[in-house]
Structure 1
Amino acid sequence: MIPDHASDSISSQLTVASQVPFEDLCTTLEQIQKCKSRPQKPKYFKDFLDSWRKFHDALHENEKDVTDSFYPAMRLILPQLERERMAYGIKETMLAKLYIELLNLPKDGKDALKLLNYRAPAGSQDDAGDFARIAYFVLKPRCLKKGQLTIQQVNDLLDSIANNNAIKRKDMVKKSLLQLITQSSAFEQKWLIRMILKDMKLGVSQQTLFSIFHPDAVELYNVTTDLEKVCRQLHDPTIFLGDVSITLFSPFKPMLAAIVNIREIEKQMNNQSFYIETKLDGERMQMHKDGDVYKYFSRNGYDYSQQFGSSPCEGSLTPFVHKAFKNDIQNCILDGEMMAYDPTTQAFMQKGSKFDIKRMADDSGLQTCFCVFDVLMVNNQKLAREMLSKRYEILASVFTPIAGRLQIVLKNQANTQKEAVDALNEAIDNREEGIVIKNPLSVYKPDKRGEGWFKIKPEYVNELMDELDLLIVGGYWGKGLRGGMMSHFLCAVAETPPPGEKPSVFHSICRVGSGYSMKELYDLGLKLAKYWKPYHRRDPPPNILCGTEKPEVFIEPYNSVIVQIKAAEIVSSDMYRTDYTLRFPRIERIREDKEWHDCMTLDLIEQLRGKASGKLATRHLDVDDNEPQEKKRKTISKVKKKIGLVDHFKAPDLSSISRVSSIFEDVEFCVMTGTRSYSKNELESKIAEYGGSVVQNPGSDTYCVIAGTENIRVKNLISSDKHDVVKAEWLLQCFEAKRFVPWQPGFMIHMSPETKQHFAYEYDAYGDSYTSDTDITQLKEVFLRINDLQKEPSQDMIADIEARYSWDSSPLSIFRQCIIYLYPSDELNSSGAKIYQRKLLTETLMLRFYGAKVISQLEEGVSHVIVGDHAHLEEIKAIRRQFKRKFKILSQQWVKDSIKAGKLQKENVYLI
């Protein structure tokens, strides 16, 4: 409660914050926190607020246009909303060291160790993990009994810390902290620490506090993300906002999609049509444009205009998209996803890759692309209340898309659950994050989730994900409700042991701290509690190998348990010993049925990593019952594929002619497209007549995929490399012959790895069989292939042939995809032209021998530049900046190590 004596010193120059002791605010916060009744908690906040407003009215009774507001107090109560203004760069460990230094505590003393090891349980279990509470008991006998600071003074000192942290003035940060500490009581410092750490532990939500402050506060904050504007504009609780709307150059909380069960899609859409969009894996961003002025804001309201360009003359995006806007567009606000685009592969990079779109370097070889999926304002016309279908129409008239720079997110209109399932399966095949379903009638509601927008990811659907059995090898003490127990765990995979032996060495792969209930966490903690040992960085356990991420405690593998982990994908990371980690990992269950030595091995995780470019969703969802194909059709027996000529020296079996309906008995097909003569339905009906079964999505029991024409779905299946894709002509020949006609190269659109290997043994490079007789038609086809291959083969053509016949695993093709330029070395030149030329020729021939294309001059299209020294490094980088396709600059050691290992080595290690 604000004391009455404060009104004795009222002055027109003063603010409420400069008159209210900081201790009063701390007392209110303490009352809120200690109150056991949740409905009662807001009352303490309301009493403080009413007192503040009463004092404010008295202080500014005769003034107009007062800017004084509740903001100085509100920003301390809700510090998590002021991340940019209150970015202190201070965590518990830094505070602990500072207190030890300022209070001159013995470094190995009891109190110093309490501060440093605040997460470890000691004494009261309630204190573990609560640094502010532990610090309070250490400070209580050493600090002022009563503080001397006002709320304004605290704000000024905290602002000083934030400003000096931004310019890396650690000495000034320390100075301001010292002022706070020396002029505050231990009680006040407990709450100061919570404000600095942005972890208040009040037990009441910000929405509740906002609603007490003003009925419109939540809505205004959602569309502005500006706490100061909320406090000033809504200071008077009797004045309401007529229409809170999105405004230019003011960041707003974006509308979000809720998770939905795919079975509920039609119900959620009221059995009306809906839009399906690809869920992009980038950074949510909004672009505000007014003439030549641009602003870019993140989902949390951070300003990234400096990175992407506040004008057409600067930044990684604005200079490339400014002229794309139509001439009649003066200003607009666009909502979308900022993506990294690789112009070489003409594909978007996934966020799990090693790059940060907000800090992407010019020479990374990637370019910034803004993928727009909504428009909120055009030429001062607010559009948030327009239906989504109308906003889409307007969006199409705002700019002309530029591939790889400024694109409109493609959408398909759909009506059924099956179409949503097909779209999800296609996203899985394309290694995409998932799909977004949107209601065409929805209006834009900032910071609302699920108001007509829904997201479906493979990991949300049971049994579509590959799950990993990992061993817990390390732990981290928890904070807050998890204080005094292990809240996060370091997990590992085992080095593959010799046959018959148990693994002895384990490699860290991820840190996980979600997916379990508090009871499950408590039970797991009890099970492992007696086995934890302190982890010493200078003397780590020899059988648990870590990267830069180290645990606080470790456990011997034979005392540990296996946990089943679900994650989105496997991504590169130098924080763990495996050199990769899991994205969005969570614990599904504890594998009580498995012994510690049955955990996943390095070999198995490598196989998973290579199976789908690291994505852990590889199975399809069945449209009929929402279970994966592999789960559904276990009753159909596997049919051995009849590849090539089967029993071609024997007389044909004529018995099948009279039993036309049985030639495809127990054989499962997936017909993707029909031909001009036969539609997809007609082919499926014919298969059924001949005894076969038909599915709409291929699974592990599918014999082959039939395609009359190639569409996007067929191409996606080809890229997944899991199924044989066969021309419909083969099926028609089977119908005509009334028997199972063996496959030949001419029938194949795409071959699975198993089939490729078989064809490599049965046919030569031109598709001519080594064993079977041929006819005139087949011979003409072979000659046509010979003529095509007689043309000078490109690097890509050679690589394609190698892949087709499974020769690409040969060490002699390790550089096949590389176009290399050997940069001349000054050191070599100085030793004589002839010697230099001889050495250059040797290196060129060596690279060509191992599949590389070596060019004689540095030109567009080169993928790698190999240098012997750093003498011309700046000159090479200057040339690279002028190229459309960015090449990599590597040391000669990369070539030597790759040849020695028989496979390409990781380029990052050899970058110059």
Structure 2
Amino acid sequence: MLGKVTSLDDYHGFTMSATSVSDNSLTKTVAAKVPFCDLCLTIEKIQKAKSRPDKNKYFKDFLNSWRNFHNTLHKNDLNTTDSFYAALRLILPQLERERMAYGIKETMLAKLYIDVLGLPKDGKDALKLLNYRAPTSSHGEAGDFAVIAYFVLKQRCPNKGTLTVHDINQHLDSIALNNAAKRKDLIKKSLLQLICQSSALEQKWLIRMILKDMKLGISQQTIFQLFHADAAELHSVTTDLEKVCRQLHDPTVSLSDVSIMMFSPFRPMLAAIANIKHIEKLMHNQSFYLETKLDGERIQLHKDGDVYKYFSRNGFDYSQQFGASSLQGSLTPFIHNTFKSTLQNCILDGEMMAYNPITQAFMQKGNKFDIKRMVDDSELQTCFCVFDVLMVNKQKLANEPLRKRHETLQTVFTSVPGRIQIVEKVEIKTKKDVADALNVAIDQREEGIMLKDPLGVYKPDKRGEGWLKIKPEYVDGLMDELDILIVGGYFGKGHRGGMVSHFLCAVAEPASPGEKPSRFHSLCRVGSGYTMKELYDLGLKLANHWKPYRKRDPPPNILCGTEKPEVYIEPCNSVILQVKAAEIVGSDMYKTCCTLRFPRIEKIRDDKDWYDCMTLHDLDQLHNKASGKLASKHVDLNDEEPDKKKRKVPAKTKKLFGIAEQFKAQDLSHVDKVSSIFEDVEFCVLNGLHDHPKAELEMGIAECGGLVVQNPGPDTYCVIVGTINVRVKNLVAANEHDVVKADWLLECLQKKHFIPWQPQYMIHMSPSTEEHFAQEYDCYGDSYYADIDKSHLQEVFKRMSKPEQNLPSKTIADLEQRYSWDISPLSMFRHCIIYIDFYARIGDSSTQIHGTSLDVRILELRFHGAQCVTNLNESVSHVVVGKDLQHVSELKSRRTAFKRKFKIVLESWITDSIKAGSLQDERNYLL
């Protein structure tokens, strides 16, 4: 058995007793002897670590412990294997999509936990699990199901589980197999065993593994590098994590040749997005190849004699669908005889397309068909369009230039239109040629064009190293854009947890002339294209208008298809989004019976009212305009005048001015990104705290994907301040930016989660933020909606105890009026601030009070809501005078110096009002 780990801080590696070695009944692997909780403790430490070196250290310590543990076991049993694959596939579950395909999502897990734990379906914990993305989720982790489940399970599970890493792998493999066989009852049984034998912490990480979303803040490339120097390269050409662990188990042995191999899927080379203006420079001012960009499925074909293997770009095996031999599949029988007789084996890279033999045209992927599941009776047929060759007769070609590979490709097979054909390459040289080709692609309703360097070699899993792509949507001004209205929303996950991050958009049903539309038809769901700052600002604008969407009682003015939002918003409270997309395609998920392909937000149309959005008629016209394609305009390079030489103006000699080191911005280009909670959000850090200086705060922002500027501008989300100084006071006086305490930033960095602002974090609020806070919090900073803990309640009490923040009588009066309490006679003087004329002479404090009747009046006034003061100042509304009127002239003389004129009334105004039970007309008592 392994040594017991009592806490996260106690864990330093594996230990072993003598009995564990002699137990031959156990599976002879390290994984069979390593408790799953040890792995969970390690990855918990990796996630919580703030710095990259610490994260690397924790992983390396675990890896070294694994290897050392094997050496100890190996001395006693030479058959014990040390493969780290059992652990690495759990740490990087996203790389095992085919082997670890569970068909399980958060909702299924939530229902299972509710069933296993016997939770009341309407109970607090059950609702937490089911509504894990709602912003009301506890612990500030909305959108993170694993964390929500952890807190629900914490008091219901053992402190330590009994399963090993080997056991976990067996259970997960069983779930994957049963998912493929569609045996849901057996899936549930395996999950039950995992739940019953695991601690809450183990189940948190088990959930992340099942969902393939680990949130470790460390990249797979870094983990590969720590495991072995050749691991990343070997994985890119094999996509086989088990093979990587098996071949590179010894860190001291390097691979001499890491190359593409027969029947081993590799990560294909990819193209980068390019700007037409820079094409000539990117291609080194040499000629280059132009290809049509095909809209199909990227597939690689491995052929050895009569054996065929087809792999997707992610390494999935589709040989059964397309044909593992010449006698089966939707493609292989039709292309087997096209290969030259001299060919023994080859590896081809290309695009699998659907071909319509009647129209003799390729179908676009946006149409309703799946090329990977083409049936025999379909009117479409499978066609493999080949654009590269990586091996011929065991000769590896990846390191040969593309020009030679293309020449070799001509000798591999004979093209058969509609079945297998070589993608045509045209050699061009100028950006005008590129623009003309893109215009032709637009006219022919194609996806775009590809540009390739003829001298470039093939680099698996690399993007843009000699391969470029241009689509119409990448070029400004070519796409028709749609102004559609937000009608629904979906809560986000991860760094967008707790906020509505995706939107259901709709078009209006045409209204009668002169009237505003009253019904809206859902069109698409969109959740990309915005910056995080734009999302935060839009969230503030719409926050108070979202309502829960109930499927049994949907809003009558918002018509949906099968796609329903989690929350909805009344159209009159919503905003219009300008959306760009590739095309309009058919879909039964939305009320319009169509949707947008690859939609993304271009901008928020604050200049348009909600009723000015696109209508169904506008959508139909656009759909019919180019068979759904939204690119209808042409590239025009005439305004650039590429052949016109510009006169060079000699640069003026400028004086160089130095900047003191303390005012220079630090270089953050080397900072590794570990989180996306501040993705594209701009901050200005004016100064830091004693324990957390400015440079440390800026580095933390950069690690979380944020941007740092030294002076706040119009795009700055907020200003971070540790110490208030003159510069901070000037920013506050300008009233343009939100000024936030550094404590807020530190808490976000610590929790790796974006924490909404609360009053205790704010030094100053811009007008828009102040308006939002007024709707969320009272004048003491106490939320109208959120639960409060002990520390926050103490802060509220401290603010209430300050004399200058005592609730004014006017506020109480407003409350009384709002709730109709002002009809009570006890509130008749609530709006009055009254000064009693006590003294025989104004300002003579030594003179005695006239009599005791005015003392009684003070008590009566206070009892009936008035505020009585002892100093005559601008706030006084009334001065009450007793029977002695000799000081009235002096009071009137004093009143002339006041901007706000008080009224001088007789004492009887008070007594008569109290007697009548209502405030009497003061004009009858004025002096």
Distance in 2 separating the partners of 1:70 and 1:167:
28
- 2:28–2:79 contact (8 Å) kept in structure 1: no
Match of 1:336 among 330, 350, 368: 350
Match of 1:9 among 20, 27, 32: 20
1:79 alignment counterpart:
93
1:125 positional shift: 6.3
- 1:283–1:338 contact (8 Å) kept in structure 2: yes
1:613 positional shift: 1.2
- The yes-or-no answer on 1:58 pairing with 2:72 is yes
Distance in 2 separating the partners of 1:382 and 1:61:
41
Match of 1:29 among 18, 38, 43: 43
- 2:14–2:69 contact (8 Å) kept in structure 1: no
Distance in 1 separating the partners of 2:610 and 2:137:
33
1:412 alignment counterpart:
426
Q: Secondary structure at the match of 1:5?
A: coil
Distance in 2 separating the partners of 1:335 and 1:424:
23
- 1:508–1:546 contact (8 Å) kept in structure 2: yes
2:465 alignment counterpart:
451
1:774 alignment counterpart:
none
Deviation track 1:343-398 (CA, whole Å, cap 9, x = no partner) reads 01000000000001001222220000000000000111111001000000000000
Letter of the structure 1 residue corresponding to residue 253 of structure 2: I
CA distance change for structure 1 residues 224 and 67 in 2, over 3 Å: closer, same or farther? farther
Deviation track 1:198-252 (CA, whole Å, cap 9, x = no partner) reads 1101011101111111111110000000000001111111100111011111100
CA distance change for structure 1 residues 536 and 626 in 2, over 3 Å: closer, same or farther? farther
- The yes-or-no answer on 1:297 pairing with 2:308 is no
Match of 1:377 among 391, 397, 405: 391
1:341 positional shift: 0.2
1:427-826 equivalence runs, <5 A: 427-625=441-639
- 1:68–1:232 contact (8 Å) kept in structure 2: no
1:100-179 equivalence runs, <5 A: 100-124=114-138, 126-179=140-193
Letter of the structure 2 residue corresponding to residue 3 of structure 1: F
Distance in 1 separating the partners of 2:116 and 2:444:
57
Letter of the structure 2 residue corresponding to residue 54 of structure 1: N
Distance in 2 separating the partners of 1:613 and 1:589:
25
Distance in 2 separating the partners of 1:72 and 1:210:
15
Q: Secondary structure at the match of 1:87?
A: coil
1:547 positional shift: 0.7
Distance in 1 separating the partners of 2:260 and 2:300:
12
Letter of the structure 1 residue corresponding to residue 428 of structure 2: A
1:597 positional shift: 0.3
Distance in 2 separating the partners of 1:596 and 1:363:
47
Letter of the structure 1 residue corresponding to residue 377 of structure 2: D
Match of 2:267 among 234, 253, 258: 253
> What is the number of equivalent residue pairs in this alignment?
627
1:358 alignment counterpart:
372
Deviation track 1:609-668 (CA, whole Å, cap 9, x = no partner) reads 1111111111000123479xxxxxxxxxxxxxxxxxxxxxxxxxxxxxxxxxxxxxxxxx
- 2:234–2:258 contact (8 Å) kept in structure 1: yes
- 2:14–2:66 contact (8 Å) kept in structure 1: no
1:746 alignment counterpart:
none
Deviation track 1:548-598 (CA, whole Å, cap 9, x = no partner) reads 100001000000000000100001111111111000000011000000000
- The yes-or-no answer on 1:188 pairing with 2:199 is no
- The yes-or-no answer on 1:422 pairing with 2:436 is yes
Q: Secondary structure at the match of 2:553?
A: coil
Letter of the structure 2 residue corresponding to residue 574 of structure 1: D
CA distance change for structure 1 residues 294 and 132 in 2, over 3 Å: closer, same or farther? same
**Which range moved further: 49-58 or 177-186?**
49-58
Structure index of larger Rg:
2
Distance in 2 separating the partners of 1:623 and 1:284:
32
Deviation track 1:837-874 (CA, whole Å, cap 9, x = no partner) reads xxxxxxxxxxxxxxxxxxxxxxxxxxxxxxxxxxxxxx
Match of 2:83 among 65, 69, 77: 69
Distance in 1 separating the partners of 2:376 and 2:182:
25
Distance in 1 separating the partners of 2:101 and 2:17:
31
Distance in 2 separating the partners of 1:626 and 1:471:
36
CA distance change for structure 1 residues 315 and 626 in 2, over 3 Å: closer, same or farther? farther
Distance in 2 separating the partners of 1:270 and 1:392:
20
Distance in 2 separating the partners of 1:516 and 1:409:
36
Deviation track 1:711-749 (CA, whole Å, cap 9, x = no partner) reads xxxxxxxxxxxxxxxxxxxxxxxxxxxxxxxxxxxxxxx
CA distance change for structure 1 residues 606 and 235 in 2, over 3 Å: closer, same or farther? same
1:858 alignment counterpart:
none
Letter of the structure 1 residue corresponding to residue 163 of structure 2: L
Q: Secondary structure at the match of 1:328?
A: coil
Distance in 1 separating the partners of 2:368 and 2:87:
41
- 1:125–1:484 contact (8 Å) kept in structure 2: no
1:64 positional shift: 6.9
- 1:125–1:483 contact (8 Å) kept in structure 2: no
- The yes-or-no answer on 1:389 pairing with 2:403 is yes
Identity across aligned pairs (percent)? Answer: 74
2:320 alignment counterpart:
306
- 2:330–2:375 contact (8 Å) kept in structure 1: no
Segments of 5+ residues of structure 2 without an aligned counterpart are 1-11, 642-927
1:784 alignment counterpart:
none
- 1:6–1:20 contact (8 Å) kept in structure 2: no
Deviation track 1:475-513 (CA, whole Å, cap 9, x = no partner) reads 001111011000100000011111111111111010001
CA distance change for structure 1 residues 42 and 500 in 2, over 3 Å: closer, same or farther? same
Letter of the structure 2 residue corresponding to residue 317 of structure 1: L
Letter of the structure 2 residue corresponding to residue 141 of structure 1: Q
- 2:581–2:599 contact (8 Å) kept in structure 1: yes
Distance in 2 separating the partners of 1:7 and 1:113:
48
- 2:371–2:382 contact (8 Å) kept in structure 1: yes
Distance in 2 separating the partners of 1:462 and 1:28:
48
Distance in 2 separating the partners of 1:138 and 1:283:
42
1:41 positional shift: 1.2
CA distance change for structure 1 residues 409 and 8 in 2, over 3 Å: closer, same or farther? same
2:258 alignment counterpart:
244
Distance in 1 separating the partners of 2:544 and 2:390:
57
2:53 alignment counterpart:
39
CA distance change for structure 1 residues 604 and 194 in 2, over 3 Å: closer, same or farther? same
Distance in 1 separating the partners of 2:513 and 2:571:
19
1:65 positional shift: 8.5
Distance in 1 separating the partners of 2:594 and 2:394:
47
CA distance change for structure 1 residues 160 and 456 in 2, over 3 Å: closer, same or farther? same
1:37 positional shift: 1.7
Letter of the structure 2 residue corresponding to residue 360 of structure 1: M
1:67 positional shift: 5.0
Match of 2:302 among 288, 292, 303: 288
CA RMSD of aligned residues (A): 1.4
2:240 alignment counterpart:
226
- 2:29–2:81 contact (8 Å) kept in structure 1: no
Distance in 2 separating the partners of 1:626 and 1:354:
41
